[in-house]
Structure 1
Amino acid sequence: MSDATLLPLAGGPSAPARFTPFDLAVAGFLARYSGQTFASYQTDLRLYSQWCDSVGLDPLAAQRPHLELFARHLELERGNAPSTVHRRLSCLRMLYRTMHVDGLIDRNPAEYVKMPKVYFDETRMVGLERSEISALIATARASTPCDGAVVTMLALLGLRVLEACAVDIEDFQSTERGHRVLRLVGKGGKPATVPLPIPIARAMDRAAEGRTSGALLLRRDGTRMTRRSADRVVKRLARKAGITRTVHCHLLRHGYVTAALDAGIPLRDVQIMARHSDPRMTSRYDRARHNLDRHGNYVLAAYLGGAA
């Protein structure tokens, strides 16, 4: 399989004129995705294709032992971490499942492949402390209107950095049921409507500086802010605020979720705020869940105490 098959199917002159059955399966599979997911799966499948070529294996004839050997190749020869191996095998699982549904293969050889155990470091999910967030917001608002809006949108709305950079002034001028709202397209192309508390709306209005259209967050040259320029802004403001640890844009989103849980907002509501599709992702941010003082055994013992 050539690398051309792993390129986006745009129908342009670079699109391959012919497909082998496996080429078509891969191209059709990748066509279902976009953005970072597409790029990751494209890399995963290119590595798998190259490995199949190196061992003389037709991917359509692959069996479970072949995929187990590919996993060992990733682990031992490429030095991939368990989380990376897990993701790449998951990609193959989905590809072969699709091929099975399409009738290209009789069974999915990846269905029972042993997946490496991945232990998640939950300390990475804990964001900035409440005092650090307050200091960063105060420093940003004392800087420039754009700096204030960047930090406000990341720390108080929990926007992902690309979502914040993509906000146009027109996106937050409407109201819904009496609430001023921001309309955006989030991760995975999911549309979202986010209510704007008054201090947040004011910070965004100040950043607009009288403009009625176009990008809200601008760089010094007047062009739309990017992920990298936003990260530079956050790091500069964090140093100015006296925060000693390394701060990046997504850490502000972590702080947003952690602070919401610390404030006592129910997990389900925080899941909606963060726009997580899985509540297990939200629960990783709950640093109080390991607090023995609130362990359920005490509640149950008190409830059943009269029956003991």
Structure 2
Amino acid sequence: MTSQIDHFLLYIATERGLSTAYQLSVRQSLDALAAWTETKKVTSWDDIGTADLSTFLAQQKDGGMSASSLRITMVHLKIFFRFLVARKVTVADPAEPLLPPRGDLHLPETLNEQHVATLLESVDVGKPLGKRDRAILELFYASGLRLSELCGARLENLDLDEHFIRVTGKGNKTRLVPVGGRACEAVADYLKNERPGLVKKKTSSWIFLSVRGGALSPERVREIVKQRAKAAGLNQTVYPHLLRHSFATHLLQNGADLRVIQDMLGHADIATTQIYTHVDQKGLKSVHQKFHPRG
């Protein structure tokens, strides 16, 4: 049974191109299931039924696993057993009927539009690294990039004339993301007037460079965002993913289609993007309570 797990992990690594972190997460889930089957004296994956998987998940929950982690584990079980059926290791798919557990809905934090404007406009581009840091903040908010996507952004994938950038996201999937006008201006200003001074002999084509001429690390970018927010006088803790949440929320509030937002964020599943509809509904409720005579 363990060999089938190894075969599956090899499959998602080589044929699906999924990240090492995702592979480790899947292994953790399947190793836990394999350990559980040993206690039940199960010797074949074909001997496991839907009731068995439900019992396993229930024991995981009783052991303290959160609803979100249970949902992730269930996804791992579903894709694993789908793989076993496709390879004719099992006849039926016991994971297919499983329903995801309900859990509390945790809405993402966001900045309002005024706070975003305050943050962006507070950066003094006349000071050292000001143009770079302004461009970083503008690009985060204009395109909703993940931290890893911004750190990995390269010059050859940026088209300021067409207002697009090509980025590589989760699962090594690439996508084209629009870049707003102001972000294009900020990035162009940085590329022309500040980046050349950061270039060293061994500098590659990373868009955003450190003072040593190398690519900025995720830790350094987080620090830049945090420091710039503090300097802008924002009391809220600001981090790169907060700007991504704000990007999506403001698009939705201003009438953008959810499917378009899904594409720009690089979400494989529309359900992931739908969290922003709850954020918007929360805002509508507060407006109703404030302005309706009987709110």
Query: Normalization by structure 2: what TM-score?
Result: 0.79
Alignment of 1:76 with 2:65, yes or no, is no
Alignment of 1:172 with 2:158, yes or no, is yes
Superposition map of 1:222-301 within 5 A: 222-286=213-277, 287-289=279-281, 291=284
Picking from 61, 65, 74, the partner of 2:51 is 65
Contact 2:48 2:94 in 1 (8 A): yes
Q: What secondary structure sits across from 2:276 in the alignment?
A: coil
Evaluate the alpha carbon distance shift between residue 289 and residue 75 of structure 1 in structure 2; reply closer, same or farther with a 3 A threshold. closer
Evaluate the alpha carbon distance shift between residue 147 and residue 119 of structure 1 in structure 2; reply closer, same or farther with a 3 A threshold. same
Contact 2:142 2:179 in 1 (8 A): no
Q: CA deviation at 1:99?
A: 0.5
Contact 2:147 2:241 in 1 (8 A): yes
Q: CA deviation at 1:174?
A: 6.5
Superposition map of 1:12-23 within 5 A: 20-21=3-4, 23=6
Structure label with greater radius of gyration: 1
Contact 2:151 2:215 in 1 (8 A): yes
Contact 1:26 1:95 in 2 (8 A): no
Contact 1:29 1:98 in 2 (8 A): no
Q: CA deviation at 1:65?
A: 3.3
Partner of 1:133: 116
Whole-angstrom CA distance in 2 between matches of 1:96 and 1:112: 12
Contact 2:249 2:280 in 1 (8 A): no
Q: CA deviation at 1:284?
A: 2.8
Contact 1:207 1:216 in 2 (8 A): no
Q: What secondary structure sits across from 1:156 in the alignment?
A: helix
Partner of 1:96: 81
Partner of 1:161: 147
- Tell me the matched-pair count: 272
Q: What secondary structure sits across from 2:176 in the alignment?
A: strand
**Contiguous gaps of at least 5 residues in structure 2:** 289-295
Q: CA deviation at 1:224?
A: 0.9
Cα RMSD, aligned residues only: 2.9
Whole-angstrom CA distance in 1 between matches of 2:269 and 2:99: 24
Q: Which amino acid aligns with 2:281?
A: R
Q: What secondary structure sits across from 1:215 in the alignment?
A: coil
Partner of 1:305: none
Whole-angstrom CA distance in 1 between matches of 2:171 and 2:13: 14
Q: CA deviation at 1:243?
A: 1.4
Partner of 2:28: 43
Q: CA deviation at 1:106?
A: 1.7
Q: CA deviation at 1:278?
A: 4.3
Of structures 1 and 2, the one scoring higher in RCO (CA 8 A, sep 6+) is 2
Q: CA deviation at 1:166?
A: 0.6
Cα deviations by residue, 1:65-94 (Å, 9 ceiling, x for unpaired): 3322321231122x1101111211221122
Cα deviations by residue, 1:153-210 (Å, 9 ceiling, x for unpaired): 11122111111111112222474xxx24322223333332234344322322333323
Q: What secondary structure sits across from 1:104 in the alignment?
A: coil
Alignment of 1:187 with 2:170, yes or no, is yes
Q: Which amino acid aligns with 2:23?
A: F
Q: CA deviation at 1:217?
A: 1.4
Whole-angstrom CA distance in 1 between matches of 2:59 and 2:123: 48
Contact 1:127 1:255 in 2 (8 A): yes
Q: CA deviation at 1:104?
A: 0.6
Contact 1:207 1:217 in 2 (8 A): no
Q: Point out the more displaced range, 21-30 or 234-243.
A: 21-30
Following TM superposition, the consecutive aligned residue runs of length 4 or more in structure 1 with deviations greater than 6 angstroms are: 292-295
Whole-angstrom CA distance in 2 between matches of 1:271 and 1:184: 15
Picking from 203, 211, 223, the partner of 1:220 is 211
**Contiguous gaps of at least 5 residues in structure 1:** 3-19, 296-308
Q: Which amino acid aligns with 2:55?
A: L
Whole-angstrom CA distance in 2 between matches of 1:73 and 1:30: 29
Cα deviations by residue, 1:103-153 (Å, 9 ceiling, x for unpaired): 11121222334542234223x2x4111111111111235462221121111
Superposition map of 1:200-211 within 5 A: 200-208=183-191, 209-210=195-196
Contact 1:93 1:111 in 2 (8 A): yes
Q: CA deviation at 1:230?
A: 1.1
